[in-house]
Structure 1
Amino acid sequence: MTLHTPMAMLHATLPAEHARLLQYFNRRVGREAAPDLVQEVFARMFGSGTLDRIDNPPAYLTRIARNLLIDRSRQKRRDCTVFFPFDENRDAESRAEQTWRIEAADLLRLYRQAVRTMPPKTRRVFVMHRLRRMTYKQIAEQVGISIATVEYHMMRALALCRAAVAEQW
Structure 2
Amino acid sequence: MLDEKSNFLRELFLRHKRDLLNYLRRRVGPEDASDLLQETFVRALRRSEFDTVADPPAFLQQIAVNLSRDFARRRRIEAGCLEFGDPPEEKASEEAAPGARLEADEKTRLLREAVEALPPRCREAFILYLSERLPLDEVARRLGVSRNMAQKHVRLAFQRCRAALD
Specify the TM-score bucket, using the shorter chain as the normaliser.
0.3 to 0.5
What is the TM-score with the length of structure 1 in the denominator? 0.42
Greater radius of gyration (CA): 1
What is the TM-score with the length of structure 2 in the denominator? 0.43
